[in-house]
Amino acid sequence: MRIIVVGCGKIGSTIIESLVEEHHEVLAIDKDYAVVNKMIETYDVMGICGNGASYDKLIEADVERADLFVAVTETDELNMLSCFIASKLGARHTVARVRNSEYNTESLRYIKRNLSLNMTINPELLAAEAIYNVLRLPTASAVETFTARQFEMIELYVHQGSALDGVKLMDLKKNPDMQFLICAIKRGEETFIPNGSSEIKSGDKIAIIAPHDDTHTLLKNFGLLKKQARSVIIVGGSTTAQYLARLLSKNRVSVKIIEKDKERAQFLGENLPERVAVLCGDGTDPELMKEEGITSVDAVVAITGKDEENILIAYDAQLGGVGKVIVKVNRDGLFDVAEKLGIESIFSPRKLVADVVVRYARALESSIGSTMETLYSVMDGEVEALEFEVMPDFTHVGVALKDMKLKKNVLIAAILRGNDAIIPSGDDVIQSGDKIIVVSSQHRLCELSDIIR
């Protein structure tokens, strides 16, 4: 597909990188010539220097031939205006980054309807929701949700002495009362889709999918359940912190934000619920953190604007005995550093956004037998988990899973049929209207039929 991306900052460049990996024809627009030139040289894309809301620049970009137009500059209003003009000039689909919390659900609905916007994305809200999911289930390093939260995929590390260490998957399935599937294992540099004879080892990172209502019981039966975080310190008063504090306080979690900028701290104090405490201070100061109760909280979330600071804060909290630490890291090179320090929950807002745009682009490509509704890049980007709705013309409706000739490294992990959440066996069949969760490694799936050899 032909895709135009306006705004080549951290978010935009990550989207461009992901779309190029998907083999799309990409054109980048940014007002900074040096940035545009870097995109051209790094990703071998076309580029135009200028205002993404300029009629002349969009005509120059042949916007009428764009299958997808994505505006992700730092300014919400410019993104929405760019998309509106692009749509009027003939772009088929438009996506705008809108991050200001003042644009609530109702106002966004109005804006989308009247500005011909197909979708809005909010990186900070996506990150806040991802962090909140892990604080709700601290055993996990990451949690992804599917089919309106009917299923959850939990990523977690297997430590030495764990009940899962040295266990074969076929032995785990002997309890018929537990519905779950271990659908991916990362061991060192290798990531694979396991089978019944695969054995879990300490040091592995695994992905488990289970019905939402069963996840707590499942982890408890494995002896892995940690209590939900009820007290949290957030270091860094970003927009993500603002969203996260609202989510946590709404669910009666004690929240304290530490922000070094006085004006920002004052703004947060005036605009967050009274039960959220806001302190102006430096979260990298161990003495300050000790004074503010870091040794007694359930979790610390480090989401300042500097990756190195976040890693340092999280590592110090971990050494201090905090049960759960979560860190925001945007630079790829620092992901490995954080992992080597034993930090398990690492988030990148720009990668969350790239997943959303890639999913939307693939959904536009799909045509027969299914529609893609969700796509997550999991297990450090080595595995994809996708959700499809089965259409009546899918050629394998009514066929038992054991009789399907699936591609290697593809797994049908879950089925939602009405209100029934099913972890399937080989005797189960796919029906029209089902929601299907597929886990895949080494494949690019656009539609459900792509899983068949």
Predicted confidence at residue 117, as pLDDT, reads: 86
- Would you say how long the chain is, in residues? 453
Structure tokens at 256: 């304290």
Beta bridge partners of 235: 258, 302
Structure tokens at 352: 């969350």
Predicted confidence at residue 40, as pLDDT, reads: 97
Beta bridge partners of 208: 154, 182
CB-neighbour burial class of residue 131 (10 A; exposed 0-12, middle 13-18, buried 19+): buried
Predicted confidence (pLDDT) per residue in 359-408, tens digit: 888 888 765 455 777 888 899 889 999 998 888 888 899 999 999 999 99
Rg (CA), the chain: 23
CA-CA distance, 429 to 85, in Å (whole number)?
A: 46
Give the class (CATH, top level) of 351-451: alpha beta
Please provide residue 318's backbone torsions phi and psi, each rounded to the nearest 5 degrees. Answer: -65, -45
Question: What's the CATH code, domain 231-322?
Answer: 3.40.50.720
Q: Where, residue-wise, is CATH 3.40.50.720 in the chain?
A: 2-121, 231-322
pTM: 0.89
Asked if CATH classification 2.30.130.60 holds for the domain at 2-121, the reply, yes or no, is no
Q: Where, residue-wise, is CATH 3.30.70.1450 in the chain?
A: 127-221, 351-451
Beta bridge partners of 420: 417
Q: Nearest 10 degrees: CA dihedral of 286, 289, 291, 297?
A: -130
Q: Check: CB of residue 121 under 8 Å from CB of residue 95.
A: yes
Predicted confidence at residue 104, as pLDDT, reads: 65
Please provide residue 390's backbone torsions phi and psi, each rounded to the nearest 5 degrees. Answer: -85, 125
Predicted confidence (pLDDT) per residue in 80-139, tens digit: 999 999 999 999 999 999 987 777 667 777 887 788 788 889 989 999 999 999 999 999
Predicted confidence (pLDDT) per residue in 300-313, tens digit: 999 999 999 999 99
* Sheet strands (E) in 272-336: 276-280, 299-302, 324-328
Which helix (H) or strand (E) segment holds residue 221: the answer is helix 215-221
Cβ-based neighbours of 22, under 8 Å, separated by 6 or more? 358, 361, 362, 444
Q: What distance lies between CA 207 and its chain's CA centroid?
A: 14
Predicted confidence (pLDDT) per residue in 230-275, tens digit: 999 999 999 999 999 999 999 999 999 999 999 999 999 999 998 8
C-alpha dihedral sign at 7, 9, 14, 16: positive
CA-CA distance, 248 to 131, in Å (whole number)?
A: 10
**Domain formed by 127-221, architecture:** 2-Layer Sandwich (3.30)
DSSP assignment string, 121-174: E-HHHHHHHHHHHHHHSTT-SEEEEETTTTEEEEEEEPPTT-TTTT-BHHHHTT
Structure tokens at 261: 């900028």
CA-CA distance, 311 to 326, in Å (whole number)?
A: 9
